[in-house]
Amino acid sequence: METTAQNPPQPYINDLSESPTNANVTISDHHDLLSQLQSLQHSFDTIQSKSSLMEENLLLLQQERDDALDNNSQLKLATKDVSHERDSLRDLVRELEASFREREDGFAKRIDEAYLSMEKLEKEVEFLRERNDKLELEIKEARNKNGFLLKISMDLVRPVKESLVKVTECVHDEKLIERFDTEEKREELDLDDELRSVWEEFKVITRLAREAESKVNEFNEMKKEIRELESSVVSLTEENRDINSLLRVALVEKEAVEKSLNKLKGNSEQKRVALLQFAERGLQRVGFGFMMGGGSNEQSMESSGAGSHTINASSAASTRSDSSECEEEVVSLASTMERIMKNLRLENSQLRRSLEESRC
């Protein structure tokens, strides 16, 4: 465009040397053309920018059309889903309406039944009111007639009260009448004089009965403790008797063993056998069987034979060790005896307790 605008003025420039007027005319025409050209170029630029904008708008409209088509398809699918949900909701609404109708019928029946029951209750209330009025009249008449009966009841209650007081005082040395009288004076009720006196007497009797019950329970517990102490005393006395008998037997057997040990000279095995025989005889006298077994007899025989071979080789130190071993064996036998006696005493005491409980 610019090359076409610059090429035409050349013939005019060549004619300037011929006539200055023509040159001025051509220059003015040239300026007009330039201004028109510039205006045309400006308008072309604006048109071109508008066309680019139109193209962009067209692209946007195409995208929007595509999006609208997609949205339309999605909306069609959504409308189908919504129509299915609508149909299901219609079915649910129908079912709910049917259930509501059934419930309304049930509620209506319940309401009718409630009205019937209310009518029955009103009739019963009226009947009970009439009955209450009659009973109030009867009570008033009975109160007028109960003076004599109250006096008789007072005459019957007072000896019961006195007997309870005597029982509680026999069990527990304390004056209860004064204490209960002081407690009763603190409480006041809106009753008639006769009813108040009867009420006070019955209240005192109930408290006396509770007190007597607690004291009797304490007395029974004391009896149980006394029985347990008596049983423990009996067991201790029996234990003392057993110990005395054991000591007597032990002394007798000790003297016999000392005599037999004095006869034996230096043989430790024979001494041990003699001690075991002493323990066995003591246990048998007390009442326990102590079987040593065949193996122990064989060992005693072998040990006696071996002792006969080694009498000459023993020394004073060996005799002391043998005597200490014999003493340890005696101590162990005594401890076993003591354990057996304790177990028997415990079993005896348990049997006595079970027998007393079964009797109670």
pLDDT of residue 160: 67
Asked if 124 and 164 count as a contact pair (C-beta separation under 8 A), the reply is no
Structure tokens at 225: 């403790």
pLDDT of residue 209: 75
What's the 3-state SS for the chain? CHHHHHCCHHHHHHCCCCCHHHHHHHHHHHHHHHHHHHHHHHHHHHHHHHHHHHHHHHHHHHHHHHHHHHHHHHHHHHHHHHHHHHHHHHHHHHHHHHHHHHHHHHHHHHHHHHHHHHHHHHHHHHHHHHHHHHHHHHHHHHHHHHHHHHHHHHHHHHHHHHHHHHHHHHHCCCCHHHHHHHHHHHCCCCCCHHHHHHHHHHHHHHHHHHHHHHHHHHHHHHHHHHHHHHHHHHHHHHHHHHHHHHHHHHHHHHHHHHHHHHHCCCCHHHHHHHHHHHHHHHHHHHCCCCCCCHHHHHHHHHHHHHHHHCCCCCCHHHHHHHHHHHHHHHHHHHHHHHHHHHHHHHHHHHHHHHHHHHHC
Task: For residue 145, give Cα distances in angstroms to 141, 150, 152, 155, 212.
Answer: 6, 9, 12, 17, 35
pLDDT of residue 358: 62
Distance CA 272, CA 307 (A): 12
Distance CA 227, CA 353 (A): 10
With vertex at residue 80, the alpha carbon angle to CA 79 and CA 82, rounded to the nearest 5 degrees, is 60
pLDDT of residue 242: 76
pLDDT of residue 297: 40
pLDDT of residue 278: 61
Residue with tokens 């028109």: 36
Please list the pLDDT of the chain residue by residue as tens digits (360 residues): 344 444 444 444 444 444 556 666 677 777 888 888 888 888 888 898 888 888 888 898 888 888 888 888 888 888 888 888 888 888 888 898 888 888 888 888 888 888 888 888 888 888 888 888 888 888 777 766 666 566 666 666 666 667 666 666 665 555 554 444 444 444 444 445 666 676 777 777 777 777 777 777 787 788 888 888 777 778 777 777 777 777 677 667 767 766 766 666 555 566 566 666 666 665 555 555 443 333 344 344 444 444 444 444 444 444 455 556 656 665 666 677 677 777 777 777 776 776 677 665
Closest CA to 16 of 7, 3, 25: 25
Radius of gyration of the chain (CA): 66
Asked if 176 and 135 count as a contact pair (C-beta separation under 8 A), the reply is no
Its pTM stands at 0.31
pLDDT of residue 128: 83
Structure tokens at 141: 């008449």
